[in-house]
A and B are shown apart, each in its own frame.
Chain A
Amino acid sequence: MDLVTISSNLLLVSFVAYLVATLFFGGAIKKSKSEKAYHNSKWGTIGLVITIIGFLTHVGYFATRWIASGHAPLSNMFEFTTAFGMMLVGAFILLYIMYRTPSLGLFALPIAIIIISYATMFPREVTPLIPALQSKWLFIHVITTVIGESILAISAVAGLVFLVKNIDMTKKSKQRFWIEAVMFTLVLVLGFVVTSTTFKVLGYEAEFTYIDKNEAPAEITYHVPPLFGMNEYEAMTPGAMTPWVELPPIINAQRLTSLTWSVAAGAVLYLLLRLIARKPLAAVFQPLAKKANSQLMDEIGYRSVLIGFPVFTLGALIFAMIWAHEAWSRFWGWDPKEVWALITWLFYAAFLHLRLSRGWEGQKSAWLAVIGFVIIMFNLIAVNLIIAGLHSYA
């Protein structure tokens, strides 16, 4: 077995470990009377041990892939997103050891699982480094940023627990709507994973030629049945479905098609879940969050921002500037990815000021943490896929 295969298998092991650990954290909550009774429960400890095993195999994946390729596996969407999942678990372990709250695990691990599944939908080949990435800063800058973002993400998890617990799901309200919207978004990611996997298993492929926005001919491959056609498309795969409409060159119809399939699958999935549960998903999870101590969740949320913010600043701004100066000759160039790192930073700066000076605690703080996570994910996903820039190496 070569290193790359070993690496993939290790990732699979950690994926399974996180799934199992989630069940144990669930058990820990079921078995204990309250958030603070957990450490008497063996379930929580077993959950932690399994999580740590998963984390170690995840690190093993990272190390073996690094050895195989000769560079830190942080150079494309798959590698970056997987590392984000890894560090999210790492950050969770850190905060679990500090606060020992299984509720956090019950929500953090599934989110990590979703993120890793999402990562595996991207091309997974080991790619050699383009010149701009050939630098020691690739590892230093990216890993620090990932760690910072993961710790910040934990604050969103704590915020989510807080909100699921404290929002009154029996009465109609804005908050109830939005917390359900968050749940829906998570299901949409699952929808993406389900459609991509299904069509991958089926081996679906349809090739088209089209005229791009610079009026040059180009080729593109759809991995899902094409709902939308690229500008002046012509099918190259015989028997492929004819797209419903042709879109102008500025819109990437292939990505829009993937998005539409994901949203459709996600919506169906969501409706099914609603039909089975017969209540909002947030209400389904509410009993699991009920035992969490609100004050503690608030504190974990705040604490993880406090820990994550300096790390994020160091990785996503300071190291980023040093590397940008080395590679692109300027430390700052208003590249969309840079700007969104700045936006993330400004957002958490506002968060801290609101909390410190304006007393935004509890629900307000929890919502801010969730929004912060949305911004981080936007920078990770949307900026790479939608807004083109120097960082769009995926």
Chain B
Amino acid sequence: MSKISCQCGHENPYGTELCEQCGRPLSKKAKESDIVDMRYEGASRRSQTYKSSIIDKIWNFFSSVKIGVGIIVAVLLASAIGTIFPQKFYVPATTDAEYAEYYERLYGVVGKFYFELGFYDMYNSWWFKVLIGMLATSIIIASIDRVVPLYKSLKKQRTRRHPSFMKRQRIYGEGAIENTAESFAKAEEELKKMRYNVKTENGAILAEKHRFSRWGPYVNHTGLIIFFVGVLLRGIPGFYVDEAMWIREGETRNIVGAPGYVLENKGFTLENYTKEEAEEVFGAALDKVGSIVKTYKTDVTLYKEKEGSLPGSDNLEKVEDYAIVVNKPLKFNGYNVFQMDYKLDELKTMTFHLVEKSSEASLGEFTVDLSNPEKEYDLGNGASVNMLGFYPDYDGIKDGEPYSKSPVPNNPAFIFQMNTPEKPTGEKSFVAIRQTLEVEQNDYAIKFAAAETRNISGLTIRKDKTLYILLLGGLVFMIGVIQGMYWQHRRIWIQEDADGHVLIAAHTNKNWFSLRKELDKLRQSTALPAYIDRQDPELDKPEQEGDEEIWT
């Protein structure tokens, strides 16, 4: 790969379109064009240089913007397809068969294909991840390939450019003016006033501003890469905790995923808006929809294992009381505990009477705390009740014994022994909801009197060490897009050629309108040739003749 020598003597890398120093068009394409392509300053992108090995070919593939846009569009389409029907994680099913059934039942044949093609779990599919990976690869390689030559080229640019470069700029003008030197001095002064960096080189001016905006794309790409790294780190154990737990009112429980911390649920509150509090404003809306929830709240106390104690030892110290509401998670040591869900009205206590069957007289009542029942309930007057069996989720008799299918008190059943002065040896009774069984005819019975319920809070526990990395990625991205999009790299070249003609050319990477405004302002105070914008044929005729009325 040979270097390309320019007439000015500068050696340019292979593939260069415009000489890095003087701007002479070098390639055939550049020589033939009316307006030169100023992207990357006509510098040679590395990818275009070498096409020999397979690695170079892969490299060039990812370096191409066309491919990059293709990948973006592919991600876009895949994402869109993923929203047609609910994704797997919003579907109430667990097995593949259930999923298949769900999609087919609700969405028919289309749903069936949606499931079978794997679109129902689009964002976790391997090929979606491959697409994202390709996007990241493309961002990295395309940026590396462009930023280096652009940097070199902008660094090497000379103040005086070759006329063939000037003539091929979109904004160009030439003409003879009187008193060139004075005009140039004035122009330099005016340009500086407009906050341009002005360089001069015997009869040539290069005014430049906001070159930093050229780095915007590379900065924002860096931000994206940082973001991707953050997402990737979440896959490493320890960086990311995502757990959920149910905790009953009154329960004290280890916090899942947060070793060493214990939470006590002191009460769950679900509150609706009432008309009384804001009749005037919200009355109409409440009439229309019935009720609107105001708060989901779990009052908790957070405990921590004391230093040096072992897990499970119950050697706890209180950290704080807190009310977890939606949008206000409990935060400690990098963990966040969120209010996510709730279940209302699980049985908490049941109150019973001990009754003499014949007289229906009560010998007293006792209350069973279903989460912490007692062995014996003393009713006074010599009567007591012993707990012989407790089946919180009674599900019939199995192997000759009552069977509880879970530890949750959905359908509590008990075997009580009733001790009374009349029957000091006791009578046994099996008591379940709406059911009483007796081994032999009893004189006494246990009668259900009342029940209390409690609520369960569904909490989510998160710890995400990558959040700050993600945030940094977002910040860098924002800096990049703002520097690249809210500023423009503008350059104005003014020079006198060998024949005493004055040439003026200007370039900006965007926002030509403002550049023209600045040029017009410059021409107001300084005698400089009129210019044309060759991409705006609709510009008023008078302008080309030097009429300044329009843009003043």
Touch between chains A and B, by CB atoms below 8 Å = yes
Q: Which of A22-30, A55-63, A342-350 contacts B (4 or more CB under 8 A)?
A: A342-350
Nearest CB of A to B507, in Å = 15
- A307:B288 contact, CB within 8 angstroms: no
Q: Which of B12-20, B249-257, B478-486 contacts A (4 or more CB under 8 A)?
A: B478-486
By size class, the interface of chain A is 35 or more
Nearest CB of B to A68, in Å = 6
Which residues from B are CB-within-8-Å of A295? 512, 533, 535-536, 538-539
Nearest CB of B to A123, in Å = 7
Nearest CB of A to B347, in Å = 25
Which residues from B are CB-within-8-Å of A275? none
Which residues from A are CB-within-8-Å of B58? none
- A126:B281 contact, CB within 8 angstroms: yes
> How many positions in chain B have a CB within 8 Å of any CB in the partner chain?
70
List 5 contacting pairs A-B, 8 Å CB cutoff, sorted by A. Answer: A128-B273, A302-B510, A303-B511, A313-B478, A336-B83
Let me know if B391 is at the binding interface, CB within 8 A: no
Complex Cα distance, B273 from A347, in Å, reads 41
Residue interface mask B366-390, A partner, CB < 8 A = 1: 0000000000000000000000000
Complex Cα distance, B87 from A99, in Å, reads 45
Complex Cα distance, B84 from A317, in Å, reads 21
- A130:B292 contact, CB within 8 angstroms: yes
Complex Cα distance, B85 from A387, in Å, reads 8
Let me know if B329 is at the binding interface, CB within 8 A: yes
Beta-carbon contacts under 8 Å, A311-368 to B: 313-314, 317-318, 321-322, 325-331, 334, 336, 339-340, 342-343, 346-347, 349-350, 353-354, 356-358
Let me know if B344 is at the binding interface, CB within 8 A: no
Complex: chain A residue closest to B65, CB-CB: A357
Which residues from B are CB-within-8-Å of A68? 281
Q: Which of B68-76, B199-207, B311-319 contacts A (4 or more CB under 8 A)?
A: B68-76
Complex: chain B residue closest to A134, CB-CB: B327
- B79:A346 contact, CB within 8 angstroms: yes
- B326:A310 contact, CB within 8 angstroms: no
Let me know if A306 is at the binding interface, CB within 8 A: yes
Complex Cα distance, B482 from A309, in Å, reads 9
Which residues from B are CB-within-8-Å of A99? 513
Q: Which of A128, A302, A321, A343 has the most CB of B within 10 A?
A: A128
Residues of chain A having any CB pair with chain B under 8 Å: 2, 4, 34, 36, 68-70, 99, 123, 125-128, 130-132, 134-135, 137, 213, 250, 293-296, 299, 302-303, 306-307, 309-310, 313-314, 317-318, 321-322, 325-331, 334, 336, 339-340, 342-343, 346-347, 349-350, 353-354, 356-358, 383, 387-389
- A36:B550 contact, CB within 8 angstroms: yes
- B327:A334 contact, CB within 8 angstroms: no
Q: Which of B150-158, B293-301, B409-417, B439-447 contacts A (4 or more CB under 8 A)?
A: B293-301
- B470:A331 contact, CB within 8 angstroms: yes
- A350:B69 contact, CB within 8 angstroms: yes
Let me know if B540 is at the binding interface, CB within 8 A: yes
- B281:A346 contact, CB within 8 angstroms: no
Beta-carbon contacts under 8 Å, B275-310 to A: 278, 280-282, 284-286, 288-289, 292-296
- B462:A347 contact, CB within 8 angstroms: no
Known: A2-B280, A250-B106, A329-B460. A358 touches B326 (CB 8 A): no
- B485:A309 contact, CB within 8 angstroms: yes
Nearest CB of A to B80, in Å = 6
Contact partner of B513 (CB less than 8 A), chosen from A299, A317, A329, is: A299
